[in-house]
Structure 1
């Protein structure tokens, strides 16, 4: 409060001037208190003026301060503000955290963290962000399969998807349902820790159409579409041979189909045709070979040694399996060849029409039983007594046929499959290898015993 001066309230000689940053200065003098002055400022300047005239008794004042407050930030949808206080004052900080599965978004951009400070103008220096639900982006695509949403949408947090394969030609590795959930780390996580990523593996040996009748290739019948989808027609410089699909990039055939004069043929000379039963109608574009792998122990320079008559061809491109193209299963460990088991032989080789043998343009098949090693060996021994150049039978071979003849594989069928069916699947028991006089009474077709070469087959495919 100001004390009296001789000059009175006009303040000619003595006064007190109050100055704040946001208003005009106030000049005070006299004996009457001006009352409460609200400065609305955090700084006030007081200038006291006196001169040589008059008598001043000085002045006094009482003052108080009030800390600036900012508005309560309110509740955050899918997030929280910390610290939680009853009031927020100048220079107080608040922080925003989103709930699990949500991300901080500000001005259309994601931010890692957020804080804001209460300013002297009673406002927060930054407006609060929003918490948006995270997403895991599109699930990884599955080759030869797909993905279905079980719950959620737009790949958002806690969405659940299930992978499936293109049945009946592919199945999930392990045979279990593969379910993934979009987690807070923005990754699709499997419900089973064992599964790193789903994989569709080909279904082998289960054609969509079965041949049921054992009908009377020599003495055979034309093959209906989709019944033997692993059959391959090989062309080597125009020479015809057979083979079978055993993987999406692998063909198995007989070594003598791809070896000429003791040397493997160039991969450039091989043409591979799949998915056809009629050469004239569906020949189409061939698949090319990227490499040829002949069994290292095959040595048949004189055409009388068919031991280890097996070879693999790797294709340049992968094949997508369907009703018309499907792999045949490889033999299981310890596969047995039981006398009398009925096998299926197929190919585009020589067939007999009206007592004439011609190279057919249609795939033929015939059912032939497995023959005991003793029976086959005896027939070959008899042939050797009357003929020169008859190959020998080894434990890497087996025979199939009927003693009365009339049914057999023949030239052009070489390298093709002799398949047995077990537990609903066809497996590659043999490869058409050699024989004497197709379909002659007392002779049998000789086939490479594929079960003896599983280790070599797997090793070759893994390393190439």
Structure 2
């Protein structure tokens, strides 16, 4: 089977040319599926996720190839594998929309900017460890009801196991709309064990990087991020607002049984992110993590976590029956 980075620029194209690949599970062709959207999610309304950015690339007709999380007026967090082939001056980001991406089709809420700098984490490797990148925009976004930053987590923020957070993205094949889904977080050793039992590590011998990666998904499958969602937001609701907790990285197929997905762990990169923001001449916004409208959560509602520690907030007891091993 393949570890599929969730970048998508052409129909059937599964990721960068130097992607990690291993032996195929020929008994299950679904590992090669090309469904490329938030699988099993809901269509988002304008204002649900105002920190959602769409990464476009000139060489692909300005189509959306990845996602990103807006954290300041000039800085976006994304995935390192999204820029492994691209130069900064080939990229632009759009925000403030839930359909399409071309300016001529947008409402007044639409904003876009070209990119001045695109920096992958120096520790990024072919195993998708440290799969995180930072982007400095040439033109800062303007805060509105539809374009706003997610909060940056404290370095001690560790989202609670079984906590339920939200992934969002456009993804190729998403019916030209922003989608979102509630995804539960796994205990990392349990995640590693179940992926290993499915052959997920047989071709590398390497386990999950417990520090730099978050594991999240449903054991029965059916709900997941997919190609085209790479780098996009994985945000957790806290008592102080929505926090940028993870960036979509990779998975084995999409929404498969016993195949939780991997997200880069944003709190681990606290110092690196703040240094980049300072170098960009920007600052942490006073207001963050606020939404204009409530999204629909048909499967499970997000868990409220403590903004400093990531522990379950006392007013939202953790009860998630029938999901984990």
TM class by smaller structure: 0.5 to 0.7
Residue 463 of structure 1: how far off its partner (Å):
2.3
TM-score by length of 2: 0.68
Q: Quick one: which of 271, 294, 298 aligns to 2:120? A: 294
Query: Does the CA-based 8 Å contact 2:251-2:261 persist in structure 1?
Result: yes
Counterpart in 1 of 2:41? 220
Number of equivalences: 233
Larger Rg: 1
Q: Does the C-alpha gap of structure 1 residues 386 and 254 become closer, same or farther in structure 2, counting only changes over 3 Å?
A: closer
Query: Does the CA-based 8 Å contact 1:306-1:391 persist in structure 2?
Result: no
Counterpart in 2 of 1:347? 169
Query: Does the CA-based 8 Å contact 1:254-1:433 persist in structure 2?
Result: yes
- Secondary structure of the residue that 1:234 maps to in structure 2? strand
Is residue 2:50 matched to residue 1:229? yes
- Secondary structure of the residue that 2:185 maps to in structure 1? strand
Unaligned residue ranges in structure 1 (runs of 5+): 1-216, 351-357
**Which has the larger share of strand?**
1
Is residue 2:186 matched to residue 1:371? yes
Residue 318 of structure 1: how far off its partner (Å):
1.6
Q: How does 1:222-371 map to 2 (within 5 A)?
A: 222-236=43-57, 237-238=59-60, 240-260=65-85, 265-279=86-100, 281-282=105-106, 286-300=112-126, 305-350=127-172, 358-371=173-186
| Cα distance per residue 1:195-220 (max 9 Å; x no partner) | xxxxxxxxxxxxxxxxxxxxxx0000
Is residue 2:252 matched to residue 1:436? yes
Structure 1 runs of 4+ with >3 Å offset = 283-286, 385-392
Q: What's the C-alpha RMSD, in Å, of the aligned pairs?
A: 1.9
Query: Does the CA-based 8 Å contact 1:348-1:364 persist in structure 2?
Result: yes
Structure possessing the higher relative contact order (Cα contacts under 8 Å, 6 or more residues apart) = 2
TM-score by length of 1: 0.48
Unaligned residue ranges in structure 2 (runs of 5+): 1-37, 281-325
Q: Does the C-alpha gap of structure 1 residues 390 and 403 become closer, same or farther in structure 2, counting only changes over 3 Å?
A: farther
| Cα distance per residue 1:101-125 (max 9 Å; x no partner) | xxxxxxxxxxxxxxxxxxxxxxxxx
Q: How does 1:18-97 map to 2 (within 5 A)?
A: none
